[in-house]
Structure 1
Amino acid sequence: MAHNEIDVEAPPQAVFAVLADPRSYARWVVGSRKIRRADPDWPARGSAFDHEVGIGPLTLKDSSEAVESDPPRLLRLRVMTRPLAVAWVTLRIHPSGGGARVEMDEVAADTRSRLFFNPLTDPLIKLRNAESLRRLKALAERREPLPDGPLPPRGSAAEGDVQGSSAPASPS
């Protein structure tokens, strides 16, 4: 299991506001290339968004589903990048001083995914998630702009054009 934590100089509500905007995932999740469509009630339990992940020309189109949502404290996702892996990602947000402490856990969601999530890959996943949390922090603290513009609903033929960040957010 990969476990990461970060302190954010913004209240839990501001952190959750970023998580509640599916367009933001293209900016803060390392490897996310594009958010294509989203359920209008995201992040309600059972809602999802469609994304594109990858590096360079190698991309996969799949989705992430909210399996538990308790604003502004908790968001648990089933993240799919099939055929490679399916993961449970849990984000817990705790008040801390005048800001928030964000904890992120990522584990394999099925037997096949355990081939990808193992003691050898955990350090790499932990590094990726540390960078993802650093980007989430920059968005929640408003040091980086949140994406704007419409995002088509899931089930439509249209795709959104919310791209990932080409350059990482500035260091904190």
Structure 2
Amino acid sequence: MTEVSMRMPATAAQVFAVLADGWSYGHWVVGSTHIRDGGPTWPQVGATIAHSIGAWPLMVQDSTAVIAADPPHMLELRARAWPFGQARIRLEINEIDAATVEVRMLETVSHGPGRLLPGALQAVLLKPRNSESLARLRDLVTSGYRTIGD
């Protein structure tokens, strides 16, 4: 399992509002280049978003599904990018004080060729990507990104 965390000047509800907008994933998830369907029931358990990963013309079309949700504190996802693999991603939002949260992102490669890589090598590949994803999420949250329903 690879873990990264980042403090953000926001409330748990503000962070979860961005996570709850399936269309936002193309803005903060590193590697996600196009959201084809934001999932009208996202982030309910079982909901999916359709996305593309990679750079044209070498894009992979796949999906991410909600495994578990506890708004506004936790969202767990199954992200697919076949033929490369599949991962479980858990986002935990912990309140530090009234205006600060810490977001933890835990990722485990669960299926596919990436699962065969040693854990230390997975961490070398995933930590920088996931740290950048959290930085992008923080930027969306703090910039006043308008979520669906705003």
TM-score, length of structure 1 as denominator length: 0.79
- Offset at residue 111 of structure 1 (A): 5.8
Per-residue displacement from partner, 1:71-98 (whole Å, max 9, x unpaired)?
A: 0000000000011010000000011122
1:97-116 maps to which residues of 2 (within 5 A)? 97=97, 98-110=99-111, 112-116=113-117
Corresponding residue for residue 10 of structure 1: 10
Corresponding residue for residue 44 of structure 2: 44
* 3-state SS of 1:49 partner: strand
- Offset at residue 124 of structure 1 (A): 2.0
> Residues 84 and 112 of structure 2 are in contact (CA less than 8 Å); yes or no, is this contact kept in structure 1?
no
Show structure 1 runs of 5+ residues with no match: 149-172
1:29 aligns with 2:19: no
Per-residue displacement from partner, 1:110-141 (whole Å, max 9, x unpaired)?
A: 26441257322311210000000000001111
Corresponding residue for residue 78 of structure 1: 78
- Offset at residue 34 of structure 1 (A): 0.4
- Offset at residue 65 of structure 1 (A): 0.1
* 3-state SS of 1:129 partner: helix
Corresponding residue for residue 120 of structure 1: 121
Q: Distance in 2 between matches of 1:129 and 1:66?
A: 18
Q: 1:111 to 1:58 in 2, by over 3 A?
A: closer
Q: 1:60 to 1:92 in 2, by over 3 A?
A: same
Amino acid corresponding to residue 131 of structure 1 in structure 2: E
Amino acid corresponding to residue 103 of structure 1 in structure 2: R
Per-residue displacement from partner, 1:10-53 (whole Å, max 9, x unpaired)?
A: 10000000000011100001111000013311000000000000
Corresponding residue for residue 134 of structure 1: 135
Aligned residues between the structures: 147
> Residues 47 and 66 of structure 1 are in contact (CA less than 8 Å); yes or no, is this contact kept in structure 2?
yes
Show structure 2 runs of 5+ residues with no match: none
Corresponding residue for residue 19 of structure 2: 19
* 3-state SS of 1:5 partner: strand
TM-score, length of structure 2 as denominator length: 0.90
> Higher helix share goes to which structure?
2
